[in-house]
Amino acid sequence: MNLLELRGVSVRYRQPGARELAAVDGVDVAIAEDEMLGLVGESGCGKTTLGRAILRLVPLAAGQVLWRGRRIDALAARDFRPLRRELQCVFQDPHACLDPRMTIAESVAEPLRALARGTTAAARNERALLRLEEVGLAGDLAGRYPHQLSGGQLQRAVIARALIVDPRFVVCDEPVSALDVSVQGQIVSLLERIRMERRLASLFISHNLAVVARLCERVMVMYRGRIVETGTRREIVQVPLHPYTRELLDAVPGIDAGARDRLLLRAAQARPAAVVAAPEVGCSFAARCPHVLPRCRAERPPLRAMASGRSVACHRADEWPAGLPTAAVT
């Protein structure tokens, strides 16, 4: 049985003076015990909304959320609260997600106060210090305020807060994209270590495929509210079947001396991409796709299972069984 399962989940936002926007549109996800699943896509593709839907920070428009096989999306707030001990979150911007008027230790201990009733303040504080140590934050920082810490230190505190109730599942919503590259590496290593030690299940959301591929065995690619491809990281990185996945791969910056020439070559080939609203029919990637056919604009490709157990939402996926080659001519 899966630890967490989403079935046909949709989230819609009401826009003033416009039709409802489907931020997430009929998404199915299954996450096993101690699996870290990667979710990649550009900003606005709905990946953050999907994470928020799991945590009940936004209401579902359709679909079901199952926790250990039990539906939890229709629970009353009171009945959902105990589940928060198991479902936690690491947010994107560590500067914004800690209360500026609370010390680090107070913020880290707060979930205990709400979720582990009857603990004493001293016990909570002790546990907070323990978790801070686990994420590599020295005890003397516990009494400081968020504005006195660096981004990397704050993100460690945020991770400590997520871990304080010993959850089974953590949504990691772009936990490193607000940080310096050198600090990103440290936080990714920390998350890797914690996942190993605690056998924690997680949904790891990022726009950077390189970061996701380092942490997650299985990766889902999301575009405009829908999953367009899923597979193991090896499949996604080496045998990408969806043109959007190819684009994401090409976007990961190289750091070798030839990177600049490749970039210039690609820039010379690329046409400026026109921004169009998501079409009512057809493939939502059609406007950007270099491999588009008339059929793509008329008929929406479903997410279909391929022979190897992965899935892809592209009419032409069978035409390139060895994966799409990089767009840049090397």
Partner 1 sequence: MKRGLWRDAFRELAADRAAMTGVAVLAVLLLAAFAGPALLDYREDEIDWSSIAVAPFAADGHWLGTDRLGRDLLVRTLFGLRVSLAIALAATLVSLVIGVAWGATAGYLRGRTDALMMRFVDVLYALPQVFFVIILTVVFGRGPLTLLVAIGAFGWLTMARIVRGQALSLREREFVEAAIVGGSRTPRIVLRHIIPNLLGPVIVYATLLVPQVILVESFLSFLGIGIQEPLASLGNLIADGAAEMETAPWMLAVPAGCLVLLVFAFNFLGDGLRDALDPRDR
Partner 2 sequence: MALLEIRALTVDFAATPPVRAVDGVDLSVAERESVAIVGESGSGKSQLLLACTGLLAANGRATGSVRFDGAELLGPGDRAAGVRGRGIGFVFQDASGSLTPHRRIGDQLAEVACAVRGLATDAARAEARRLLDCVQLADADRRLRQYPHELSGGMRQRVALALAARPRLLFADEPTTALDVTVQAEILALLARVCREFGMALLLVTHDLGVVAALADRIAVMSTGRLVETAAAADFLNGPRHPYSAGLLAAVPTLAGVR
Positions that interact with partner 1 (CB under 8 A): 52, 55, 57, 81, 84-85, 87-89, 91-93, 96-103, 106-107, 110-111, 113-115, 143-145, 147, 158, 161, 165
Among 95, 144, 207, 297, binds partner 2 (CB under 8 A): 207
Residue 305 Cβ, how far from partner 1 at the closest point, in Å? Answer: 33
Q: What is the length of the chain?
A: 330
- Nearer Cβ to partner 2 (233/300): 233
Distance CA 67, CA 76 (A): 15
Tokens read off for 215? 């942490």
Q: Alpha-carbon dihedral of residues 303, 13, 50, 94, nearest 10 degrees?
A: 150
> Of the ranges 74-82, 244-252, 293-301, 306-314, which one interacts with partner 2 (CB under 8 A)?
244-252
In angstroms, the Cα distances linking 237 to 1, 33, 228, 254 are 28, 24, 14, 14
Beta bridge partners of 13: 21
182 binds partner 2 (CB under 8 A): yes
30 binds partner 2 (CB under 8 A): no
Choose the contact partner of 99 out of partner 2, partner 1, none; CB within 5 to 8 A by kind.
Answer: partner 1
Among 266, 291, 297, 300, binds partner 2 (CB under 8 A): 266
Choose the contact partner of 158 out of partner 1, partner 2, none; CB within 5 to 8 A by kind.
Answer: partner 1
Distance CA 298, CA 283 (A): 8
Choose the contact partner of 299 out of partner 2, partner 1, none; CB within 5 to 8 A by kind.
Answer: none
Distance CA 318, CA 234 (A): 18
280 binds partner 2 (CB under 8 A): no
The single-letter code of the amino acid at 137 is: L
Distance CA 269, CA 328 (A): 8
Distance CA 309, CA 313 (A): 14
> Which residues of this chain interact with partner 2, rule CB under 8 A?
42-43, 150-151, 180-185, 188, 207-211, 213-214, 233-234, 237-238, 247-257, 259-260, 263-264, 266-268, 270, 272-275
